[in-house]
Structure 1
């Protein structure tokens, strides 16, 4: 079978995925999640932020998180990408026992191109990302490498968000 012509291929979408871990070897869970995502045929890693250590939000009686954001290009739909992300969470032992509770890995689809979606299983852009410094700081970090003008918009929002001082660089981008 011949490869499809360039104009027959599905268009690539640039998506941003937030990653967080606060159980066990947090850094390893982040690395493994990225590796498993990159192994998917229709997902290509485009950029990654540094890793940031942050205090928990919501349910605060738990260990600090390591958070980061990766940018990927994909020909998948937003729902298909979410399904792949959830499969990675399951492979890495994610348990959903306490809302906002401890987890080996948490993957959140933050942005999917310019798509606005309000479905029961997926809201885009992510509904709470604009109020969370632990999401905005690594998002801007990953986005600046690919979309500097768009990153400026998120940096302006970050200036209005509380809690920036609780987002500490744990490891710069490799």
Structure 2
């Protein structure tokens, strides 16, 4: 079965977020017919939602996988659950959040999955690490990642060491 290039956003702001992301990368690499090919630096960012929560640690991982999109989503949700994910409130604190940003050149709109991720272009904590590992990437609509990254050139996210 042919493999697809997929980009996964990782985020955590509870229970040692750096360790949560490191564990998630190992879990991604252990998925069937899947290999992690690149991982961005880890970045500290302010929460997108309620501000009464800790800062997030975010990264993007590139994988090559033969898993179908919904099967991959099931695996990602299982990894989140294994690492203690509880959904308390929208955009709230969490031990781990894994989102499929891009799955090859596919455009998917279903009840469970939207690819490309619906708001990735407006999220500094997604675009900066994605650009770090895939600067020549082109989105399924033909837009070049370079154009999206330009609006975040003077980003204010701190890079976390030891990743």
Q: TM-score, normalization: structure 1?
A: 0.85
Distance 1:42 1:64, change over 3 A: same
Q: Is the 8 A contact 1:38 1:44 kept in 2?
A: yes
Distance 1:166 1:56, change over 3 A: farther
Distance 1:149 1:101, change over 3 A: closer
Aligned: 1:150 with 2:141: no
Matching of residues 70-109 of structure 1 within 5 Å: 70-109=61-100
Q: Distance in 2 between matches of 1:149 and 1:64?
A: 28
Aligned length: 160
> Secondary structure of the equivalent of 2:5?
strand
Q: Is the 8 A contact 2:137 2:145 kept in 1?
A: no
User: Residue 159 of structure 1: CA displacement?
Assistant: 2.2
Aligned: 1:171 with 2:156: no
Aligned: 1:33 with 2:33: no
Q: Is the 8 A contact 1:19 1:69 kept in 2?
A: yes
Q: Hey, what does 1:6 align to over in structure 2?
A: none
User: Residue 158 of structure 1: CA displacement?
Assistant: 2.5
> Secondary structure of the equivalent of 2:144?
helix
User: Residue 61 of structure 1: CA displacement?
Assistant: 1.3
User: Residue 150 of structure 1: CA displacement?
Assistant: 3.5
> RMSD across aligned C-alpha pairs, in angstroms?
1.9
Q: TM-score, normalization: structure 2?
A: 0.91
Q: Is the 8 A contact 2:32 2:67 kept in 1?
A: no
Q: Distance in 2 between matches of 1:142 and 1:91?
A: 27
User: Residue 136 of structure 1: CA displacement?
Assistant: 0.2
After superposition, what is the alpha-carbon deviation per residue over 1:120-158, rounded to whole angstroms, capped at 9, x for unaligned? 1000000000011111001111214xxx35399213112
Instruction: Decide which structure has greater helix share.
Output: 1
